[in-house]
């Protein structure tokens, strides 16, 4: 495929998997390593959430059997995205569009758009 950055895609997929694992384990320290300091999430209704708020609220999430399904992933230079769906206890909870950026040679998540 023309224009595909295979090394970048592998790094982004690994980071996306780390995000899913940290969320599944309710591990804010692990998720903090995935998210850039200026990360921002946009949730249904237009509410913006920043990194510190997301990490602080993680442990308050009710226990659930989580499954993440990835639908797409693309790299465009120093920017990438993944799109997927989150299921809790077998029920579709939300879909998401995650954005990653490569800064100083390292990939970090810089944003997410969550839809019900």
* Domain boundaries defined on the chain: 6-115
Please give the Cα distance from 81 to 59 (Å, whole number). 26
Prediction pTM value: 0.90
Model confidence over 12-54: pLDDT tens digits?
A: 999 999 999 998 888 999 999 999 999 999 999 889 999 999 9
Let me know the angle formed at the C-alpha of 100 by 5 and 51, rounded to the nearest 5 degrees: 165
CA 10 to chain centre: 15
In 13-90 the beta strands, taken as DSSP E runs, fall at 35-43, 47-50, 66-76, 79-88
Count of other CB atoms within 10 angstroms of residue 7? 9
Does the domain formed by 6-115 have CATH 3.40.50.150? no
Model confidence over 68-108: pLDDT tens digits?
A: 999 999 999 999 999 999 999 999 999 999 999 999 999 99
Coil, strand, or helix at residue 46? helix
């Amino acid at each position: 495929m023309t224009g595909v950055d295979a090394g970048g895609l592998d790094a982004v997929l690994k980071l996306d998997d780390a995000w899913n694992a940290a969320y599944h384990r309710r591990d804010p320290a692990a998720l903090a390593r995935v998210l850039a300091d200026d990360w921002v999430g946009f949730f249904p209704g237009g509410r913006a959430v920043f990194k510190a708020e997301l990490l602080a609220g993680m442990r308050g999430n009710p226990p659930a059997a989580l499954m993440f399904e990835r639908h797409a992933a693309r790299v465009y230079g120093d920017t990438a995205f993944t799109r997927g769906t989150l299921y809790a206890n077998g029920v579709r909870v939300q879909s998401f569009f995650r954005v990653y950026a490569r800064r100083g040679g390292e990939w970090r998540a810089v944003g997410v758009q969550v839809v019900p």
